[in-house]
Structure 1
Amino acid sequence: MSIKMKTHYKTCRGLLLTTALATTGVIATAPVAAQMVLEEITVTAQKREQGINDVGITVNAFSGDMLDDLGVKSAEDMALVTPGLTITNTAATGVPIYTIRGVGFSDYSTAASSTVGLYFDEVAIPYAVMSRGVLFDMERVEVLKGPQGDLYGRNTTAGQINFISKKPTDEFEAGVAVDYSRFNVLDVETYASGPITSGIQARLSAKVVQSSEGWQQSLTREGDTLGKRDEVAVRGLINFDLSDNAKLLLNMHLIRDKSDNLATTAYDGTDIGLDSTQNLISAGAIPYSLGDNRAADWTPGEYRPRRDNEMKGISARLDWDFEGMSLTSITAYDKFDRSEANDWDGAEIRDSNNINVTDIEVFSQEVRLSSNNDSNLSWIAGVYYSKDDMSEDYNYFMNDSYYSVALGITELDTRYDQTTESIAAFGHVEWQMTDKFKLTVGARYTEEDREWSGCTYDRNGTLAFAANNIITPFLIAPAGLPIPDDVADGACAVYNDIEGSDNYGQYSVFTDDIATNKWMWKATLDYAPTDDLLFYGTISKGFKSGGFNGANANTHSQLVPYGPEDLISYELGMKSTLAEGRLQVNAAFFYYDYQDKQEQDTAVTFVGNISGLTNVPKSKIKGGEVEVRWLATEGLTVDMGAAYLDTEITEWEAVSSTDSVYPTIVTFDASGLELANSPKWQFNSTVTYEWAISSKLMMMVAGDAIYKDSTTGGAQGLAYATEDYFLANARMGISDVDGDWSIKLYGRNIFNKYYYPAAFVGGNGPYVRMAGMPVTYGITASFKF
């Protein structure tokens, strides 16, 4: 989406700087005036320029300035400012879980792809773990809701988030922003942009974040803190004007992150009505905490939560205009390397610690043709190809756990390789049937093949000993299964319990592949009775391909791939501009028919019931969203957003995690339960007031209110549920009327609210939460040259 604005005013009294939560885009206003109106906006959400009020599409958009004001520093922060979007974790593995309108995939494996498409400058990022770097020099961020498969590369069901960086300019400009905040965080961002020579423009931007003081405090070691930061990001863009009708944009980027990871906080399950015996470490062996944002604990030394990650890549975009049409080609390559340690159990001991070493390489190519005339019929057609290779070494340490005492197993090493290849063809047509009616249709056919090979290996002899002396004679033999050969030290220790397969009855590497060939489509009818009112109805279908479980495993049946999921969306929306252009009200109402949702389940194995993945046959989601933007009076802007969700599983026989004992699997009827990560209500509000204090200076004060309702945890129950929370932010600043410099003071979570966006069961049993940050405050100074 791009944004173009026209300025209309009568008596100019200074520039009004705004921050807005607008359903259909970031809305700028005219200079403060006796008569104020919302401005005309042009978007390219459907990959051609259109007036935002002329197209039926539901999207939240945020400018770079707005992201700064709201304290959005990373992709994961977007959940705090976007109604209907939830970003959380299912476990402390460094993998974020993106959910839009209740559509998400709660898998902590690095190999899992997200239901939410993630795009950086129109390049797809196939794995959520690759999205965790800092955001900097952003033109805007867009959150599109509902299936978007007709125009975007990867298959997804929930929607997508587009991160769009600022581009090179024809005239020289430069700037720097310095931010210093609580916990000794220094954040410096700078850029320079302009022409290099005739026909060539460049932009170089960089960001450095340093902090020597962590905000989490150890419950057992006074003075030991977690949360230190060491991040460096650089982006270089070069635009070549090849001719009057052709240009080439190169994008080179690097993000390096050597910060601390965050730790969980363990708590007594009986405090919220859970069984305290879930803590398999032993009751009272570790300190608990509830209600303190900063309280946490972790294993020190080599197991301390930390990361050493690097994302680097290059893309090339060619745009070439012909007579009546345009050619666009986007070629991209990204490489992501990570080595990071995390601690699931919220304790000083090694109950469930992990170190992930990951290597991901992604190549993609998109070529599309589109019409570029002003006729009543416009179209886009293209092809898309991508290939990604992933390898991971997932080391797991449980030296002090229940299983160490019971079975003697202290360390595991799950190693796997995954290759995914996707090819698609797509088309999109918009037909202006009459002055008031427009029909938009689009479709994409995708063929995706995924191969996976891996095993959980003995790391230090303890798994081999347990397999040969406990699992084989006391668990496998009594179950009537074939007796396997002994496991050698360091060898694969996953038992093949799938009758008829190769190596049945042996400890062996699991290898399989899954192919998904499906259509995605979309149809929208717009009705615009006036220039200031638009109604639209959309029916769309999306799918997400199947995949594999990258967790520690005991049996081959635990690693059998889960299948694809499908979602059909029915949506009605309205966009209106009222009160002589000073009020905008936008609303959308939707119903989702959700088939074969990919979800966490229980895998019943020899050593107990552990992490598994499955498909939920049937679910339904319904809800609505409303966004209001109001220029209440001269200098005063009010923005409000609300989202309502009603989710329900309508068919699913889920595996009982308490009653099942290998090989007997006990199920229960999970129909009627809500989906995970689906707060019923979400609210956002921003109030901004700005006034001139002289002919050259402007003053600004603003406040934000954020509310997210509680969640049930889905079929995983209370241990995965979260409480509702309310957060408030405030800021005030002074700037010159031209916006060349500004100084701003801010506070976030100013009432120091205790909240936790994620809760789950630690790797081997304890109940844990991941708390949000306490109150923070700081000062930002920015200058443009």
Structure 2
Amino acid sequence: MMKCKTLKIREETMNSYNSKRFSGYTTLFMTTALCVGGLGLSAPASAQMMLEEITVTAQKREQGINDVGITVNAFSGEIMKERGISTSEDIAQITPGLTVNETAATGVPLYTIRGIGFQDYSTAASSTVGLYFDEVSMPYSVMSRGLVFDLERVEVLKGPQGDLYGRNTTAGQINFISKKPTAETGAGITVGFSSFETLDVEGYLNGQVAEGVNARLAFKTTQSGKGWQKSLTRDDTLGKKNIYSLRGLVNFELSETVNLLLNVHYSNDQSENKANTVYDGRLIGLDEFSAPYKQLFPYAVSGETPPWYSTGDNRAADWTNSYTDASGTVFNLRPKRDNQLKGTSVKLDWDITEEISLTSVTGYDKFDRVESNDWDGMAANDSGNINTTDLEVFSSELRVTGQTDKMLWIVGAYYSEDKMDELYNYFMSDSVYGNGSIAFGISPFQFAPILQLHTRYNQKTDSQAAFAHVEYNVTDKLRVTLAARYTEEDRSWSGCTFDAGDGSLAGFSNFAFGATLSPGACSTIDDDPASPTYVFGVIGSPNINDAFHVYEETIETNKWMFKVGLDYALDDDLLLYATFSNGFKSGGFNGANSNTTQQLKSYGAEEVNSYEVGIKSTLLEGAMQLNLSGFYYDYKNKQEQDLAVTFVGNISGLTNVPKSRIYGAELDMQWAPAEGWFVSFGAAYLNSKILEWEATSNDSSWPTVVTFDASGRELAMTPKWQLNAGIDYEWEISSGLMMKIGGDVNYQDKTTGGAQLEDATSAYTVANLRATLSRDNWQVMVWSRNLFNEYYYPAAYTGGNGPYVRSVGMPRTFGITLSYDF
């Protein structure tokens, strides 16, 4: 079948550019595509340049990226270094249509592609965006930090990808692909020094260790001795980094037709976490605060502005360093991570015949963390937590690929199993539920304040699937793709919010319901009228304690997913494509603090029908690559935050939005207007709308649930516009000595917050600048990120129980990076 030219600029004559450096530079521009990603540039004939095709593995085999009938962005490892992409969350900075935020300070990043995401801060929620590291799924986004180094490329696939990817998701996937071992002996090191006393060191060793055995060892460490956030109320800073990561890859050529790749990786993160910044809610049309807290009382009386309110200063924040309970036990609450990820994977490739090959990928990862975070943005204890998480994930995929003159087919099976145990230690002594109730005289908490909670749960998920994918060339120009996948998934959950051992939660339950719970007892209340232990069925009886128990549930999901695609190549420079795909994400459970069992009931699976058309074109005799796509999503039962109406008020809940829709368009342009010049531009437009949803109102109180019609509102985290633009110029200073100057600007439009207005964010623009001097195997780059010190906040929410907070982005930073390849 004919295909558009997806290309990388390469030196045609040796008297103008160093071939190695120029090729690496051009990969930057090739791989920022929005619609089909990584698309090639070419220059006019007078520049004496020619184009070379780039390959990706978005569809589980090597293909030219312009021959892939799906929407995918691809970014090389060199580009990510140049743009300062050091974590998986940073990918959103260079990918219109992708956002990363959080809805609470729990250390869980939330990925959203084209408005499809799940605004749940619980560790237990599997990611709506599939995350794959060397073809192995990381189903929980909390696991995604720490492995972004020594990458060959990253691929961002947009839209449901259920036919070829193991874990069921609706938004798309992000594939992180490591550099593989080769027989060529080599080594390299990169050292960077930047603002806030930050040191980055990354390196690799590569080569042949025996006949048919090649190995690659890569490492990265980031150390920062100075925090970038400053306390608003005391002399204290936050934001030090202490990260170590290591990856070893060994490739065994077992025979001419059999190849085995072993991957062993480890990451240790001892960094400080980011704190929030409090603001006056009246700035966005809300009340000043969601609920009163102890520290607010003197300012509420005097009418003065609390000193921890701040807007406009991207270094300003506040946090709590410790809490001492009634027994004298001191808890270290300073926002910090103690996280370790260790794992291994094995990939086997076997060419059974010239036309048929077999691939097996098996992976195991273990993630352990003790992570403290501050929700409330104050030197107070309205909301703080320590999460202790033990998570294990095993997966295995077996697939067979075959090809004839006109047809390519893939069939396979997938199995995964994960287990999660978590203690969510929550501190709230200054909140409206704790001692804040005494200051403001709020009943019943002033008589029995709740100071601390222990939410403990375990979750087990088993998933198995069978899939088939067929591409048939009807003619030299027309290709049809048909694919299907059947998935069976079981998810079991058991959990409760326990008294923390201080007796405060048990004391509240005893005061309010006449129970006789002991310190440490499960205190989640059975509020299901159909249950034999319904609280109002046993209240006043000797069995009242039975109304406080662990909640258990198992859900089963059995679903088909489909895909139909058409590609039509008008000529070598113009490809049209259209796809229909269907995807789903299974239901789950609420891992937040619970007051009632109804709050913990499962939410259902969500489903998306995606319709997309696109065009890939090479223009101006190869000097420009222009790509366009448009899409429409029919979104059913979207998983979303809601309020749970409980005895203690409206607290964290999860639900399904029955109907919503999203449509949009994306553009990517790459242009080489003259020798040495490269220009890139990308844009993503989104329009989302809730079509049907009766959301829970803040005015509810148990047992009455008041709802409001949320239809007509936008979905959360759907900025109408996201824009990228970049320009670079490279020239030769002297024989072999190259100079390159470049910059990029990234814009994200405001978001509404969906049904929760406090989750809204403002539009922002971040600009970056860099200059690189290089020769052969070394380079020096000086750079600035957030050049104009833009104040922006990618996330905003209620800071636990009382204040409204923003999670502010980093200020302007400067640095110098030195690289040398041996």
* 2:425 aligned with 1:395: yes
State the AA in 2 paired with 1:696: G
1:727 is matched with 766
1:22 is matched with 33
- Displacement after TM superposition at 1:50 (Å): 2.5
2:753 is matched with 713
Alignment of 1:766-785 (within 5 A): 766-785=803-822
Structure-1 separation of matches of 2:622 and 2:318: 53
8 Å Cα contact 1:173/1:784 also seen in 2 = yes
Structure-2 separation of matches of 1:70 and 1:384: 35
Structure-1 separation of matches of 2:70 and 2:812: 36
TM-score of the pair, normalised by structure 1: 0.96
* 2:471 aligned with 1:468: no
Structure-2 separation of matches of 1:194 and 1:332: 24
Structure-2 separation of matches of 1:759 and 1:42: 39
Structure-1 separation of matches of 2:744 and 2:58: 27
State the AA in 1 paired with 2:589: F
8 Å Cα contact 1:700/1:732 also seen in 2 = yes
State the AA in 2 paired with 1:230: N
Change (3 A) 1:12 1:333: same
2:440 is matched with none
* 2:372 aligned with 1:341: yes
Q: Any idea what the Cα deviations from partners look like across 1:657-689, whole Å, max 9, x if unmatched? A: 2x1010000000000000001100000011111
- Displacement after TM superposition at 1:771 (Å): 0.3
For the residue of structure 1 that corresponds to 2:283, the secondary structure is helix
1:13 is matched with 16
Structure-2 separation of matches of 1:49 and 1:311: 29
Structure-1 separation of matches of 2:784 and 2:82: 10
Structure 1 residue corresponding to 2:399, chosen from 368, 371, 391:
368
Q: Any idea what the Cα deviations from partners look like across 1:429-487, whole Å, max 9, x if unmatched? A: 010110110001111100000000000000110001100112x15xxxxxxxxxxx432
8 Å Cα contact 1:36/1:581 also seen in 2 = no
State the AA in 2 paired with 1:467: S
Structure-1 separation of matches of 2:292 and 2:51: 59
Structure-1 separation of matches of 2:386 and 2:742: 42
1:752 is matched with 789
Q: Any idea what the Cα deviations from partners look like across 1:117-137, whole Å, max 9, x if unmatched? A: 000000000101000225110
Structure 1 residue corresponding to 2:318, chosen from 294, 297, 301:
297
Structure-2 separation of matches of 1:772 and 1:298: 16
Cα RMSD over matched residues?
1.5
5+ long unaligned stretches in structure 2: 1-5, 323-331, 438-444, 536-546
Structure-2 separation of matches of 1:516 and 1:124: 19
Q: Any idea what the Cα deviations from partners look like across 1:333-366, whole Å, max 9, x if unmatched? A: 0000000100000000111000000000001010
Q: Any idea what the Cα deviations from partners look like across 1:685-713, whole Å, max 9, x if unmatched? A: 11111001111100000000000000000
5+ long unaligned stretches in structure 1: 474-484
* 2:605 aligned with 1:582: no
8 Å Cα contact 1:178/1:782 also seen in 2 = yes
* 2:670 aligned with 1:629: yes
- Displacement after TM superposition at 1:508 (Å): 0.6
Alignment of 1:508-587 (within 5 A): 508-587=549-628
- Report how many residues are paired: 765
* 2:427 aligned with 1:386: no
1:649 is matched with 690
Structure-2 separation of matches of 1:28 and 1:190: 29
For the residue of structure 1 that corresponds to 2:142, the secondary structure is helix
2:742 is matched with 702
For the residue of structure 2 that corresponds to 1:468, the secondary structure is helix
Alignment of 1:241-280 (within 5 A): 241-280=253-292
- Displacement after TM superposition at 1:276 (Å): 1.2
Structure-2 separation of matches of 1:318 and 1:745: 42
Alignment of 1:73-92 (within 5 A): 73-92=86-105
8 Å Cα contact 2:599/2:653 also seen in 1 = yes
Change (3 A) 1:238 1:533: same
Moved more, 156-165 or 399-408: 399-408
Structure-1 separation of matches of 2:278 and 2:643: 22
Change (3 A) 1:4 1:34: closer
Moved more, 70-79 or 373-382: 373-382
Change (3 A) 1:286 1:549: farther
- Displacement after TM superposition at 1:178 (Å): 0.2
For the residue of structure 2 that corresponds to 1:726, the secondary structure is strand
Change (3 A) 1:49 1:135: closer
Q: Any idea what the Cα deviations from partners look like across 1:365-407, whole Å, max 9, x if unmatched? A: 1000001x45210100000000000000000001111110332
- Displacement after TM superposition at 1:329 (Å): 0.6
8 Å Cα contact 2:37/2:71 also seen in 1 = no
For the residue of structure 2 that corresponds to 1:714, the secondary structure is coil
Structure-2 separation of matches of 1:325 and 1:497: 58
For the residue of structure 2 that corresponds to 1:68, the secondary structure is helix
- Displacement after TM superposition at 1:35 (Å): 3.1
Q: Any idea what the Cα deviations from partners look like across 1:576-625, whole Å, max 9, x if unmatched? A: 00111110000110000000000000000000100000000000000000
Change (3 A) 1:496 1:572: same
2:479 is matched with 438
2:77 is matched with 64
1:479 is matched with none
Structure-2 separation of matches of 1:271 and 1:151: 46
Change (3 A) 1:126 1:447: same
State the AA in 1 paired with 2:576: F
Moved more, 396-405 or 509-518: 396-405
Structure-2 separation of matches of 1:25 and 1:245: 32
State the AA in 1 paired with 2:33: A
8 Å Cα contact 2:9/2:51 also seen in 1 = no
1:476 is matched with none
State the AA in 1 paired with 2:135: E
- Displacement after TM superposition at 1:51 (Å): 2.5
State the AA in 2 paired with 1:569: S
Structure-2 separation of matches of 1:279 and 1:220: 21
* 2:132 aligned with 1:119: yes
1:686 is matched with 726
Alignment of 1:452-491 (within 5 A): 452-459=493-500, 460-470=502-512, 472=513, 485-491=515-521
8 Å Cα contact 1:6/1:40 also seen in 2 = no
- Displacement after TM superposition at 1:34 (Å): 1.9
- Displacement after TM superposition at 1:27 (Å): 5.1
Q: Any idea what the Cα deviations from partners look like across 1:50-101, whole Å, max 9, x if unmatched? A: 2322331111110001001111000011111100000000011000110000
Structure-1 separation of matches of 2:806 and 2:9: 48
8 Å Cα contact 2:578/2:613 also seen in 1 = yes
- Displacement after TM superposition at 1:271 (Å): 2.4
* 2:804 aligned with 1:764: no
1:611 is matched with 652
Structure-1 separation of matches of 2:638 and 2:214: 46
Structure-2 separation of matches of 1:28 and 1:276: 51
1:674 is matched with 714
Change (3 A) 1:276 1:6: closer
Structure-2 separation of matches of 1:139 and 1:4: 17
8 Å Cα contact 2:270/2:339 also seen in 1 = yes
1:353 is matched with 384
2:542 is matched with none
Structure-1 separation of matches of 2:93 and 2:625: 22
Structure-2 separation of matches of 1:91 and 1:43: 35
Structure-2 separation of matches of 1:338 and 1:503: 35
- Displacement after TM superposition at 1:758 (Å): 0.3
Change (3 A) 1:625 1:715: same
- Displacement after TM superposition at 1:521 (Å): 1.3
Structure-1 separation of matches of 2:12 and 2:572: 20
State the AA in 2 paired with 1:13: S
For the residue of structure 1 that corresponds to 2:433, the secondary structure is helix
